[in-house]
Amino acid sequence: MNILLKSVTIVNGNTKHLHLRKRDILIKNGIIDAIESAIEPSGKTKVIDIKNLHVSIGWFDSGVNFGEPGYEERETIENGLLTAAKSGFTDVVLNTSSHPTPDSASDIVYLKNASKNQLTNLYPLGNLTVKGEGEVLAEIYDMKNAGALGFYDYKAPMGNANLLKIALQYAQNFEGMVFSFPLDKSISGKGIVNEGITSTKLGLKGIPTLAEELQIARDLFVLEYTGGKLFIPTVSSANSVKLIADAKKKGLQVFCSVAVHNLTITDSELENFDTQFKVMPPLRTSADIKALQKAVKNGTIDLVTTDHTPLNIELKHVEFDNADFGTIGLESAFGTLNDIFGVEETIGILTKGRSIFGLDEPEIETGKAANLTLFTTEDTFEFSDEHIYSSSKNAIALGKTMKGKVIGSIRNNQIILNK
């Protein structure tokens, strides 16, 4: 397959001689063949010529959820990867939220086989403990050899500090990444939203930021004792950022992410009891958002994730107390971030992080495999059902103003464009 991108603006801070330059890019059989001021198509070539078209290396998401296996009605792996490709993501890390959860090498092999021949590459995580129950360490070495990028009991806090210690010590033998969800359940109790003015006003049980910060403080003490690599997913408070920043200054190998919605939406949105806004960790305050955005800019927060979580309608269209936590986010990530950070910073956010997991970084250079995302930057629109590609429609971004549109993705000698 030959593809010619006409007059595209290249956004790639790592390639200074091409950054923000308009070029034609010719791709032959999945390889970038030429980057020139002007290239004329020849033979059977698919020409893409769109006003305000931009290109960057393909985007990376460190934490998505699909339903398969077990919850295919929410999202299959095939449609989840198609959704990712249409949303600009050419590499995604899959959380351990399926049923059964992946806690053996054969489970990891199944997930990798189920994702073959897709444009977007899928990298599965494996459970840290058997069945994600936090009691017995899973076969993490075998899963690493089978292709697991790290080990995570998805959104299940590790209550046993000694087990976390053992996991960090053991994983060092093979450069394994240990995930620990930041929540102390003895503090959070039955809370479902941020503890504060809004929770008090609405009569909803609150989760104080203390529940997150205590767990992070404990985990960082364990990490300082053991060494190893610790990943803290989806932090949400200003004090969490301070704790992690101090740990990084000590030289600890600690990494963290934040969900897009925790960067943009406050708990004041809960006043209509709309279950689309019920997420974990909960939406916090404007002060937390300000601190989180600053931490993304200065690098304290390593990654921004969509935390894409498809849920079928009956899990959301119930009373607020009974609704499940989670929102889809792949489709709205670019438009949301672009509105906050601007184009260059947004692309930096969406393309960083592969090296943390030992994955190769794509390049926009002749002779390199084409791993590209296509997008525009000037379109402004209201996010609605028509912009959702997921099987599930539980989108926190519905009704929000987006800036910039994803046109599609190119990878693995495939191209997927949005109509």
Identify the CATH number of the domain in which residue 283 sits. Answer: 3.20.20.140
Burial class (CB in 10 A: 0-12, 13-18, 19+), 161: middle
Residues 372 and 345 grouped into a single domain: no
Residue whose structure tokens are 């599930």:
392
Same domain, 6 and 69: no
How many CA atoms does the CB half-sphere of 35 hold within 13 Å? Answer: 20
State yes or no: is 321 an active-site residue: no
Residues 319 and 194 grouped into a single domain: yes
The one catalytic residue among 307, 321, 339, 379: 307
Together in a domain, 162 and 271 = yes
Contact 67, 73 (CB under 8 A): yes
**Does 352 share its domain with 378?**
no
137 in a structural domain: yes
249 and 306 in one domain?
yes
Longest dimension (CA), the chain: 67
The encoded tokens of residue 395 equal 């989108």
Q: Do 138 and 184 fall within a single domain?
A: yes
Statement to judge: residues 374 and 289 lie in one domain:
no
Q: Give the CATH number, domain containing residue 17.
A: 2.30.40.10
Residue 41 belongs to a domain = yes
Q: How far apart are CA 47 and CA 24, in angstroms?
A: 10
Please state the separation of Cα 329 from the chain's center in Å.
9
In a domain, 32, yes or no: yes
> Both 93 and 112 in a single domain?
yes
Domain assignment of residue 397, yes or no? no
Same domain, 39 and 108: no
Same domain, 102 and 138: yes
Residue 392 lies in a domain: no
**Total number of domains in the chain:** 2
Residues 202 and 295 placed together within one structural domain of the fold: yes
pTM of the model: 0.96
Is position 391 within any domain?
no
Inside any domain, residue 312? yes
Q: Where are the beta strands (DSSP E) in 260-388?
A: 303-305, 372-382
Q: Which domain holds residue 95?
A: 59-357
pLDDT in 10s for each residue of the chain, 419 residues: 899 999 999 998 777 889 999 999 999 999 999 999 999 998 899 999 999 999 999 999 999 999 999 999 999 999 999 999 999 999 999 999 999 999 999 999 999 999 999 999 999 999 999 999 999 999 999 999 999 999 999 999 999 999 999 999 999 999 999 999 999 999 999 999 999 999 999 999 999 999 999 999 999 999 999 999 999 999 999 999 999 999 999 999 999 999 999 999 999 999 999 999 999 999 999 999 999 999 999 999 999 999 999 999 999 999 999 999 999 999 999 999 999 999 999 999 999 999 999 999 999 999 999 999 999 998 899 999 999 999 999 999 999 999 999 999 999 999 999 97
Residue 342, Ramachandran bin (φ over 0: left; ψ between -120 and 50: alpha; else beta):
left
Asked if the structure places residue 395 within a domain, the reply is: no
